[in-house]
Copies of this chain bind each other. A is one copy, B any other.
Amino acid sequence: MRLTTKGRYAVTAMLDLAIHFDKGPISLAGISERQEISLSYLEQLFTKLRRKGLVKSTRGPGGGYSLSRSAYDIAIADIITAVDEKVDTTRCGGLGNCQGDERCLTHELWTSLSDQIYSFLAGISLGQLTARKEVQERAQKQTTNVQKVKPDTEQNEESGLDTTSPGA
């Protein structure tokens, strides 16, 4: 299976969306800040996620993205296949032409591994993840961290430079 940072970023971003579901559309700029993912890269990922029907978008000021259905109806496998195209560990892409026209010695091994991974990721939903305690705690922390770095909305750049710095 193709498991790269692309898939990881996509899942992280979708989880951010699921966590802030109650706050209306979530801007990519916000996700970018909280999860430290480049905005342009997020745009690419969300184009795919939208085309696969996992999210819907709202344009204009106050706009952003939201989940197209319940977080409990979106499996991690859905997200990864949406951005990574295929979940497959074989060389031949499951076609069985790994060695000339024939299957290679280990063809069946990789197909059953692929099945295994897919089942695992298909069995976990975004909703389940949001319910986990460590996820909630970390999400809380991320929100306050971002607020600390950007006190208001970067209107006056020197506002944070007091003598009593929050420091350590």
Contact = CB atoms under 8 A, between A and B. Distances in A.
Contacts of A156: none
A104 interface: yes
Give how many copies assemble into the complex.
Answer: 2
Contacts of A8: 89, 91, 106, 110
Nearest to A76: B109
Interface size class of A (residues with CB under 8 A): 35 or more
A35 B89 CA distance: 18
Interface hub of A11, A104, A135, A142 (most chain B Cβ within 10 A): A104
A158 interface: no
A164 B11 CA distance: 61
Interface in A68-111: 76, 89, 91, 99-100, 102-106, 108-110
B120 A116 contact: yes
A1 interface: yes
A105 B5 contact: no
A15 interface: yes
A132 interface: yes
Interface string A106-128: 10111001001100110010000
Contacts of A121: 113
Contacts of A15: 105-106
A120 B113 CA distance: 7
Nearest to A136: B105
A129 interface: yes
A39 interface: no
